[in-house]
Amino acid sequence: MKGGGASKEVGEQAPLPARRESRRLPDFLQSVNLKYVKLGYHYLITHLLTLLLIPLMVVVLLEAAQTDPDDLRQLWRHLQYNLISVLACSSFFVVGATVYIMRRPRPVYLVDYSCYRPPVKLEVPFQVFMSHSQLCGAFNESALEFQRRILERSGLGQETYLPAALHDLPPRPSMATAREEAEQVMFGALDNLFKSTGVKPKDVGILVVNCSLFNPTPSLSAMIVNRYKLRGNIKSFNLGGMGCSAGVISLDLARDLLQVHRATYAVVVSTENITQNWYFGNRKSMLIPNCLFRVGAAAVLLSNRSADRRRAKYKLLHVVRTHHGADDRAFRCVYQEQDENSKVGVSLSKDLMAIAGEALKINITTLGPLVLPISEQLLFFATLVAKKLFNGKVKPYIPDFKLAFDHFCIHAGGRAVIDELEKNLQLRPEHVEASRMTLHRFGNTSSSSIWYELAYTEAKGRMRKGHRVWQIAFGSGFKCNSAVWQALRNVKATPDNSPWQDCIHIYPVEIIDGFPTQPSEHQQ
């Protein structure tokens, strides 16, 4: 427990209080000074071009003011006698501008999105979870105790949701009940999305659906086409088996399709199915998903229509995808298989966090040059050169991504995932607040979790025009994917369209060792 560790540290420090104090003050002042030096350096490098252009423009204006009017008249006559040169230059400019406009990437706008909010009857407090696990008769005492410990340390709250089939005793995991769950979450999110945006289903030209563990025939995308009677020439795709980062993969696919198909809407639906993928065995590495994964879904409306820029919330700036699957260890770290009793489940390797860290390193190495200010890039490059010159004795410089982003939506895969990214990216508690609170309120909703986190930031009223958002998710394979958005206006949550509408006032709650220190909404 962290509390025990903290007490031990205090006990060890107690005999030398004066010495500790005398050493801390200079370090603190030095860190403050370095902070302001770094901010000044960042400002100088970021605005370097502007600072150089201002004196150049002043010199040009002074020279122009001292030019004799006769010289200007002579220049005009010279241009008149060289009409062919003028026309050639003008034509070259027009052709060049046309080619640039035709070939530049079309902007992709996020008009709106909707996160599914399950009914209260599907809530599963810890006591209910453990009671059902015991009564269903599938788990031995060791497995039950393991699940209890995982729940207590998970960071989940008492109001997460499981599908109706798993609330029954005995549970009813079947193809029929799995379809019911899929329809409930997907149609619930889409109904809300179409209602809030006013877009007619017939206007949607592209549909991308991702769900890793439930891929029936007809597909989930076909279920949506049938329900909303989408047009016959719709470009529909169904992505399966791609893990919790599949939501960003779906965004990337939709973005590429929007570059080809003009003036159209694309809908991305991200979800996971719990009903048919509950593990009823006793292997501990396969019991963890039972404790973390919960019901959820998100539907996102994208557009490449210039007319939608005015009402859109965000503009998509970058998508960076990293696939670490060539490494056998990474490939098998999240693996669906049968246990020794032929029970199917998803096994999580003990190396998962180390592999996630490696994938993250590759991803941010690619993402950094796209988003970091030039000041951070120069510092990183200078440190890299110094490290080469001095045979690795120089400590590597970790770029400050807080200078690149205003908000962070880190996949709420579990408490350990959020802790590790907070540490490695040197983030502050407020930067991971949305992720921790989403994990507490909704659990791990797989690929849709990054949208619940964005909804949290909006519900708190923190999103301002120009703010940049980093969505980052990890998935089986092993993959690490990032999406970067820029807010086009001050974004406020719509009361009828936010999963946080009736509980945002009690958040954030402080979580220590997995337990909230403030009561939940229903306990107050």
The residues carrying an active-site annotation are 244, 323, 407, 411, 440, 444
* E strand or H helix at 231: none
Dihedral over Cα of 185, 188, 192, 198: its sign: positive
* Beta-sheet pairing, 265-271 with 204-210: parallel
Using CB atoms within 10 Å of the CB of residue 507, give its burial: 0 to 12 exposed, 13 to 18 middle, 19+ buried: buried
Angle between helices 175-197 and 220-228 (to 10 degrees): 50
Q: 289 near 345, Cβ under 8 Å?
A: yes
Phi, psi of 315 (to 5 degrees): -120, 135
Q: Which tokens go with 495?
A: 């009361």
* E strand or H helix at 401: none
Angle between helices 415-424 and 352-371 (to 10 degrees): 50
User: Three-state SS across 473-518?
Assistant: EEECCCEEEEEEEEECCCECCCHHHCCCCCCHHHCCCCEECCEECC
| b/e sequence 50-60, b meaning 16+ C-beta within 10 Å | eeeeeeeeeee
Angle between helices 141-153 and 284-292 (to 10 degrees): 50
Q: What is the DSSP letter of 395?
A: P
Query: 206 has which bridge partners?
Result: 235, 266
Q: Which tokens go with 347?
A: 């096994």
